[in-house]
């Protein structure tokens, strides 16, 4: 179980001004949360290499063995308004163990994506990343998250339901899930 978060300082990165947080986990060690920074590009590549094939398939809907340097730079050199991301890190060198990001699609909606390293899944890391990304999005005028989710990715579907009521459009290969973040999510069944 993950204990309550504790603010450990204020950082400003990529236009996101927020307190960095630390969560203590029983077996997973300390996890810190902060906005992604441009100098995270190589840590992001290393993170991607540690993901299992199944996790990569759920996130990218297929195989993506490595994250190229140009793509890693694109994912880390963002404005914090139309494109924003939070990372979960561990250790003194800031090893990335989770990433949540959005890319604005319209003035009030953004595509959202999450990935958490296998050994840190089911520890509340995704939920804490969602809380931070949701807060950033609402501050920037984004009220709806949109995600393309594999029907078998129950963890992501559960995470999206925690952010607000969802609408699902089922397609053969993936579902488009829209989250209304202006309304409170339904209580768990």
pLDDT at site 37: 96
Is the distance from CB of 119 to CB of 28 less than 8 angstroms?
A: yes
Q: CA 188 from chain center: how many Å? A: 21
- Minimal CA–CA distance to 14: which of 71, 107, 77? 77
> 128: part of which helix (H) or strand (E)?
helix 125-139
Is the distance from CB of 150 to CB of 174 less than 8 angstroms?
A: yes
pLDDT at site 170: 93
Residue 60 in this model has a pLDDT that exceeds 80:
no
Q: Region 108-118: what's the mean pLDDT?
A: 93
For every residue of 60-114, DSSP letters joined together read HSS------HHHHHHHHS--SSSEEEEEEEETTTTEEEEEEEEEESSSSEEEEEE
Least confident of 18-32, 47-61, 71-85, 157-171: 18-32
Q: Region 41-61: what's the mean pLDDT?
A: 83
- Arithmetic mean of pLDDT over the chain: 82
Domains, the chain = 6-180 (3.40.630.30)
> pTM of whole model > 0.85?
no
Percent of the chain with pLDDT over 90: 54
């Amino acid at each position: 179980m993950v204990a309550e978060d504790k603010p450990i300082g204020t950082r400003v990165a990529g236009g996101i001004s927020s307190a960095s947080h630390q969560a203590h986990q029983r077996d997973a060690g300390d996890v810190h949360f902060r906005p992604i920074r441009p100098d995270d590009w190589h840590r992001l590549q290393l993170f991607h290499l540690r993901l299992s094939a199944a996790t990569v398939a759920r996130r990218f809907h297929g195989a993506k063995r490595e994250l190229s340097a140009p793509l890693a730079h694109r994912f880390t050199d963002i404005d914090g308004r139309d494109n924003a991301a939070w990372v979960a890190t561990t250790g003194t060198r800031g090893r990335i163990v989770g990433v949540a990001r959005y890319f604005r699609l319209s003035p009030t909606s953004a595509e959202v994506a999450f990935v958490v390293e296998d050994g840190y899944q089911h520890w509340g890391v995704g939920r804490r990343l969602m809380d931070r990304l949701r807060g950033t999005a609402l501050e920037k005028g984004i009220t709806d998250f949109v995600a393309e989710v594999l029907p078998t990715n129950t963890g992501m579907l559960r995470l999206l339901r925690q952010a607000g009521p969802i609408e699902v459009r089922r397609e053969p290969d993936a579902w488009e899930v829209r989250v209304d973040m202006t309304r409170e999510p339904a209580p768990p069944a």
